[in-house]
Chain A
Amino acid sequence: MGDDAIAEAMRQINPHVVAAYPITPSTQVVEAFARFVADGLVDTEFVATESEHSAMSACVGAAAGGGRVMTVTGSQGLAYMFEVLGVASGLRLPLVMAIANRALNSPLNIHGDHSDTMAMRDMGWIHLYSENCQEAYDNTIQAFRIAENPNVRTPVLVAIDGFQTSHMVETLIVEPDKLVKKFIGEHIPSYPMLDIDNPVLYGAADRPDYYMEHKRSQLVGIINAPEVITQIGKEYGDLTGRYYGLVEEYRMEDTEYAIVVMSATAGSVKGAIDQLREEGIAAGLLKIRAFRPFPADEVAKSLSRTKSVAVLDRCGTGGAQGGPLFLEVRTALYEEKSPPQVINYIYGLGGKDLPLKHIKDVYLRLREIARTGERGKLVDFLNLRE
């Protein structure tokens, strides 16, 4: 299961501190990891906090102290952490947080969608989205290298789709402990508070004369991130044979109709593409792995060759002009000389299934848009009873 894949990566990473409060569908990560702690397989100080707000606060303290730190949450738990998420990124702490994406109340729903992490998309964290258990494992390991890179020093979240990935039983290649340990290396903290010979002050107040300068300075880590994510993805690939970039293209080389999507649904889209290709429809997929910082150049370059694009958002619009991914993709294409037509579908909210038939329908509509030039409805829902 995806949760176990993340827990296994955590065992190999052996963080100094893990502070967490379990919440469905990421409970299994905390359970499995707590067992590793109880069995003495890790040296981690495991803090079972009384809430997610406390969990993230403990992580901030531990990371400021100089530790390699991780937590796990999703949905309401992530919402409850919200206040402290900005503290972590503002203080440039190299935390890693695994998320099993889950819908937000109300109505209460424990199943998967991206509304939780999309609500924190501008909190200054790096976002990596994983398609399956293997990517969940691989991304968790790489996340520490990205977060701790001296040019980045920014918290990273690794997201998997709640249930679709968190509870999906799949084959997983687990790298040897030695390889993972060597890959992530020793944690070299920057200005650790526990270095009492060199005292520093974390979390000072700013008046208007310095706040904006500090926020600009914070952005440096995010600006440097794409290069580091790419380089670490390549380094990891050289060791394991599984290469990672900011985005992943699937059969995009000759495609006219592309879907842009994140996480588990990318797997379904690949299946639909293979079937459509046999029917002679040149369908392609652009999967976003790093949503923050948004890889606008890579997206524009990849999609500029297409005629029509559908962006699939697993998150509502909240009154915006479309889903969050759609807004990013459409903006990225604005500078193109002859950009493709871009439409948006909201799908899979609260764990709603997305059978291949609906994905194929999207491609058929894209083909129609390319043929007629008529875009039709800009934002619509997929697999909605109406």
Chain B
Amino acid sequence: MKKEKLKKWQELPIGGLILDMGNSSETQTGDWNPNRLVWNEDTCTHCLLCWINCPDASIKVEDSKVIGIDNYHCKVCGICVEVCPTKPKSLEIISEEVA
């Protein structure tokens, strides 16, 4: 993802309002987390339970198959890990230091 261009104060809407709804895809909202979610393609069955349960639409899916994680928006809440039915789990939280 390209680096966001920060706006000057004169360019901001009144009262800190956000006028263009659904603009979080343009903003890196998950880059602060010291942990990271990783996906293991080899064990994944593409059941999409993670995709259904993800509160931040951060499981990337194409043609009904998981293709990866949107780490710029994933908050590493761990819900997908919890619901993943495969053994071993196909989703794992690792420390950023390890990554």
Tell me what chain B mostly uses at the interface: helix, strand, loop, or mixed. Answer: loop
The reply to whether B14 and A201 form a contact with Cβ atoms under 8 Å apart is no
User: With A91-B16, A92-B15, A190-B14 as given contacts, are A201 and B9 in contact (CB-CB < 8 Å)?
Assistant: no
- A216 within 8 Å of B by Cβ? yes
Contacts of B12 in A (CB 8 A): 210, 213-214, 217
* List of A residues within 8 angstroms of B13 by Cβ: 191
**B2 lies within 8 A of chain A by Cβ:** no
* Chain B residues close to A by CB (< 8 Å): 6-10, 12-19, 21
A38 at interface, CB cutoff 8 A: no
Collect the chain B residues with CB atoms within 8 Å of residue A216's CB: 9
In the complex, whether A186 has a CB less than 8 A from a CB of chain B is no
A108 surroundings in chain B (CB, below 8 A): none
Closest B residue to A219 by beta carbon equals B9
Q: Give bound CA distance, A217 to B16, whole Å.
A: 8
Q: Which residues of A contact B10 (CB under 8 A)?
A: 217
Judging by beta carbons under 8 Å apart, are B17 and A213 in contact?
A: no
Q: A204 to chain B: which residues have CB within 8 Å?
A: 16-18
B17 A206 Cβ-Cβ under 8 A: no
Contact between chains at A90 and B16 (CB < 8 Å): yes
The residue of chain A having its C-beta at the shortest distance from the C-beta of B15 within the complex is A92
- Kindly report which residue of chain A lies nearest to residue B8, judged by CB atoms: A213
Residues of A within 8 A of B (CB): 90-93, 153, 190-191, 199-204, 206, 209-210, 212-214, 216-218
Alpha-carbon distance A206/B17, docked complex (angstroms): 11
Q: How far is the CB of A18 from chain B (nearest CB, A)?
A: 22
Tell me the minimal C-beta distance from B22 to chain A in angstroms.
9
Chain B residues lying within 8 Å of A153, measured Cβ to Cβ, are 14-15
Contact between B18 and A217, CB atoms less than 8 A apart: no
29 A-B residue pairings within 8 Å (CB atoms):
A90-B15, A90-B16, A91-B15, A91-B16, A91-B17, A92-B14, A92-B15, A191-B13, A191-B15, A200-B17, A200-B18, A200-B21, A201-B17, A201-B18, A201-B21, A202-B15, A202-B17, A204-B16, A204-B17, A204-B18, A209-B6, A210-B7, A213-B7, A213-B9, A214-B12, A214-B16, A217-B10, A217-B12, A217-B14
Known contacts A90-B16, A92-B14, A153-B14; A214/B9 CB under 8 A:
yes
Closest residue of chain B to A213 (Cβ to Cβ) is B9
Those 10 A-B pairs whose CB atoms lie nearest each other, nearest first: A92-B15, A201-B18, A213-B9, A216-B9, A91-B15, A214-B16, A217-B9, A217-B12, A199-B21, A92-B14
B21 touches A191 (CB 8 A): no
Q: Which residue of B lies closest to A93 (CB)?
A: B15
Q: Given the complex, which residues of A lie within 8 Å of B9, measured CB to CB?
A: 212-214, 216-217
A153 to B16, CA, bound (A): 13
CA distance A199 to B21 in the complex (A): 7
Residues of chain B lying within 8 A (CB to CB) of residue A202: 15, 17
Instruction: For B16, give the chain A residue with the smallest CB separation.
Output: A214
Q: Provide the residues of chain B in CB contact with A200, threshold 8 Å.
A: 17-19, 21
Q: Chain B residue with minimal CB distance to A214?
A: B16
